[in-house]
Amino acid sequence: MANKITPQPGILDIAVYKGGQSHLDGVSDVLKLSSNENPAGPGEKARAAFVRVADQLHRYPSTDHGALRAAIAEMHDLDADRIICGVGSDEILAFLCQAYAGPGDEVLYTEHGFGMYRIYASSVGATPVEVGETDRRIDVDKLLAACTARTRLVFIANPANPTGTMIDRAAMARLADGLPEQAILVLDGAYAEFADGYDGGAALVEARENVVMTRTFSKLYGLGGLRVGWGYGPHEIIDVLNRIKGPFNLSSPALETALAAVKDVAHVEKCRSDNARMREWLRSALAKHGVASDPSYANFILAEFGSKSEAEACDDFLKTQGIIVRRVAGYKLPRFLRITVGDEAGCRRVAHAIGKFKEGAK
């Protein structure tokens, strides 16, 4: 059959996203520190809600997610009418591309930015534009200089993944103020809760017409497997996104479990403080073994090695010890490994193994 069946422009440019590895052949006690998952998982209340929904699985779920939006709004002091829930925050990023970018449009993201920005931009035929960073930090001047009359979306994660670095409030505001008038600033707040005192950009959303914030239940809330995220933005933009959202995008287990999770403040606070404590512990333990890292504002550390081959050798060694971390050469960081902050035992185990690797290398 002659090939007249072809996908839309841009689709074949997409390299399929690779998630963090989760298995090692022949190893039973695997420590997975490759996908920034919460080592504690969801709290008891969320687990109980998930089990309870089993009795209601013949019912279609809510289409407007009213109860979950109300709970999120209460928790974060936001306007529930301007929240939209999605299948992970990924879906909100996809909606933004579908709604606001197409062939001829440019979608900006940064040098070490999250891989999905490029994928979603390409999937709608828009042109992904990668903008340089400075010392693994988002550079507002470079982003503003890269804007053109065709720029429609600017994606930044704050704190960023895989670097763990952050830009401050003033820098975010300067970016929002300096964008061309047809462009939206998307603040991906997947790790916002891990940064002490940071609102994820909510205040900036309130103060501007051109800023959208995305958040997720996948990281701090320990619900990566459930797939729930949300976005917050101006009325006009959220209205547009709601028009393209499938009516039943979130399942009832997803809605009920996320609702219980958001209300379980005690569990969330414990996870947040455990992460902060172990993050600092891991950073200084690695430093003692001669492995530096930038201060991280997220739930992972970007460990720096002397060369690409050293980073790879360390990764290979960790695998022999049953530990999976993330190579980030695909994010233009070949000398680095990204290591999720695990529980105390996990942090000790990975630090010990890296120490052993460094000793062996001497």
Ligand X SMILES: *Cc1c(COP(=O)(O)O)cnc(C)c1O
Q: Which of 34, 165, 218, 299 binds ligand X (CB under 6 A)?
A: 218
200 binds ligand X (CB under 6 A): no
154 binds ligand X (CB under 6 A): no
Closest approach, Cβ 86 to ligand X, in A, equals: 8
Q: Which of 106, 133, 139, 188 binds ligand X (CB under 6 A)?
A: 188
CB 211 within 8 A of CB 205: yes
CB 336 within 8 A of CB 161: no
CB 285 within 8 A of CB 347: yes
Closest approach, Cβ 190 to ligand X, in A, equals: 4
Give the integer Cα–Cα distance in Å for 185 and 342. Answer: 32
Closest approach, Cβ 92 to ligand X, in A, equals: 8
Question: The sheet that has 336-340: what strands, in order across it?
Answer: 292-293, 300-304, 336-340, 326-327
Residue 90 or 139: the one with the smaller Cβ distance to ligand X is: 90
Stretch of 126-134, 167-175, 214-222, 275-283 contacting ligand X, by CB under 6 A: 214-222
- The site for ligand X, by CB under 6 A, has a size of 13
Give the integer Cα–Cα distance in Å for 85 and 314. Answer: 39
159 binds ligand X (CB under 6 A): no
CB 190 within 8 A of CB 164: no
Closest approach, Cβ 12 to ligand X, in A, equals: 24
DSSP 134: B
Q: Which residues between 86 and 125 bind ligand X (CB under 6 A)?
A: 88-90, 114
216 binds ligand X (CB under 6 A): yes
Give the integer Cα–Cα distance in Å for 70 and 67. Answer: 5
3-class secondary-structure state, position 284: helix
In this chain, which residue has its C-beta nearest to ligand X?
88
Residue 184 or 190: the one with the smaller Cβ distance to ligand X is: 190
Give the integer Cα–Cα distance in Å for 53 and 42. Answer: 16
CB 237 within 8 A of CB 245: no
CB 179 within 8 A of CB 167: no
Stretch of 43-51, 171-179, 217-225, 248-256 contacting ligand X, by CB under 6 A: 217-225
Residue 124 or 213: the one with the smaller Cβ distance to ligand X is: 213
3-class secondary-structure state, position 128: strand
Closest approach, Cβ 309 to ligand X, in A, equals: 27
CB 96 within 8 A of CB 212: yes
Stretch of 54-62, 218-226, 287-295, 321-329 contacting ligand X, by CB under 6 A: 218-226
- Of 95, 299, 115, 119, which Cα lies nearest the Cα of 184? 95
Stretch of 18-26, 75-83, 85-93, 98-106 contacting ligand X, by CB under 6 A: 85-93
Closest approach, Cβ 338 to ligand X, in A, equals: 10
Stretch of 8-16, 71-79, 82-90, 279-287 contacting ligand X, by CB under 6 A: 82-90
Q: Is 104 left (phi over 0), alpha (psi -120 to 50) or beta?
A: left
Backbone angles phi, psi at 310, to 5 degrees: -65, -45
Which tokens sit at 148? 């053109």
Q: Which of 123, 151, 158, 161 binds ligand X (CB under 6 A)?
A: 161
**One symbol per residue from 219 to 238: x for binding ligand X (CB under 6 A), - otherwise; what is it?**
x----x----x---------
264 binds ligand X (CB under 6 A): no
Give the integer Cα–Cα distance in Å for 127 and 124. Answer: 9
Residue 90 or 106: the one with the smaller Cβ distance to ligand X is: 90
| Residues at the interface with ligand X (CB under 6 A) | 88-90, 114, 157, 161, 188, 190, 216, 218-219, 224, 229
